[in-house]
Structure 1
């Protein structure tokens, strides 16, 4: 399953967009719009944060990743929100299958859909430098303990069942203002829960993680537009 998460590094992750600041003509952050009405109390629609993105990767790893998000700026530097994600993953020649009728062997692709929902918080420590924590629940296919079944031609294929596992992504990054409330961003995240016992399986003599982010740093690169 470790092979699965390597593709996550290639894809354009979306991360939640935090695009409610305005930018002047020099591209530097200006005063947030909601501060123009400092006496307003309660819910302020100017503090809402909308985002979304599309990640694509093709080749040995084929990946299509979509994750819209919405949040709210609680202070000038602190925001929180939720995100939903869908990730279609296909890895060429992931495992070796055998034919129950002929005894032949061949390499087979692994493909699955991963669904996720998360709660995130983000803090701007200095201009355009960000810290983020995101608790995410991932619904993935468990290939390590499911056994096998046979297709109509007699080839052994995994008899997959789905499990839901948690990820806690911690990290930070940088945003580059483009003007008019839009910017590019890059973040590096690490799943600190990837090796807990409920997230791991024994497979072919080694312990592997079912986390979509297992094995290293996960990079998110994207684009956001404010309103």
Structure 2
């Protein structure tokens, strides 16, 4: 009986100490409220200091785009294609521009060496962040064979093209991204040798034209 009484007193003492400790913790002074230098949340991001321009009022230096495309082909026929371009951000989604094109062909097999040159104008409209629709008109001065007189002649070919491109941003000031573009030449089947309609004199091997353009 005496031992039970001592165990009861011990249990009551421990319980009282535990309750008192919890009470002291509950009423402890809130250091989060009294310490002004202690942060409970992450700091807010710094505001964007870059100037915001209403659409259509951006300065020319921010609307200008510079770049172009190029290609190299080696083998039986050597093909070099250079096309510098300049564009202008017309609206937030629409870019328009112009470019010049130079092509050099050389065939060792047929002892043939020729230069094509011309220019193009284009419009590129963004329908999604990385997907664009594109319309283009290209005019090229090309060389072809006159089989009647056994000599080469030159003529201009006009190529209206429609297609789309997939873009990846580059972050440059004037070269904003790289664009993988696939176009369809609407006039391809009409670009024939006037002396032999079986001979297509377009510099492209099919009506589909693929380009990688930096702009």
TM-score range, shorter chain: 0.5 to 0.7
Q: Number of paired residues?
A: 164
User: Within 2, Cα distance between the matches of 1:49 and 1:194?
Assistant: 29
User: Within 2, Cα distance between the matches of 1:66 and 1:43?
Assistant: 29
Partner of 1:167: 159
User: Within 2, Cα distance between the matches of 1:173 and 1:131?
Assistant: 6
Matched, 1:54 2:79: no
String of CA shifts for 1:119-149, please: whole Å, max 9, x gaps: 111111111101111111110002145632x
* Counterpart secondary structure, 1:195: helix
Partner of 1:120: 122
String of CA shifts for 1:143-175, please: whole Å, max 9, x gaps: 145632xxxxxxxxxx11111110112111201
Say if 1:211 and 1:129 are closer, same or farther in 2 by CA, change over 3 A. same
User: Within 1, Cα distance between the matches of 2:58 and 2:177?
Assistant: 28
User: Within 1, Cα distance between the matches of 2:162 and 2:200?
Assistant: 18
**Higher deviation after alignment, 179-188 or 211-220:** 179-188
**Contact 2:135 / 2:161 at 8 angstroms: preserved in 1?**
yes
User: Within 1, Cα distance between the matches of 2:205 and 2:76?
Assistant: 19
String of CA shifts for 1:23-82, please: whole Å, max 9, x gaps: xxxxxxxxxx8x822287486331111112332111122111111111211111111111
* Counterpart secondary structure, 1:143: strand
Q: What is the alpha-carbon root mean square deviation over aligned residues?
A: 2.6
Distance apart, 1:223 and its partner CA:
3.6
Partner of 1:201: 193
Structure whose residues are more often helix by fraction: 2
**Runs (5+) with no aligned partner, structure 2:** 1-49
Which has the greater radius of gyration? 2
Q: Name the TM-score, length of structure 2 as normaliser.
A: 0.66
Partner of 1:7: none
Partner of 1:77: 93
**Runs (5+) with no aligned partner, structure 1:** 1-32, 94-107, 149-158
User: Within 1, Cα distance between the matches of 2:55 and 2:184?
Assistant: 40
Partner of 2:22: none
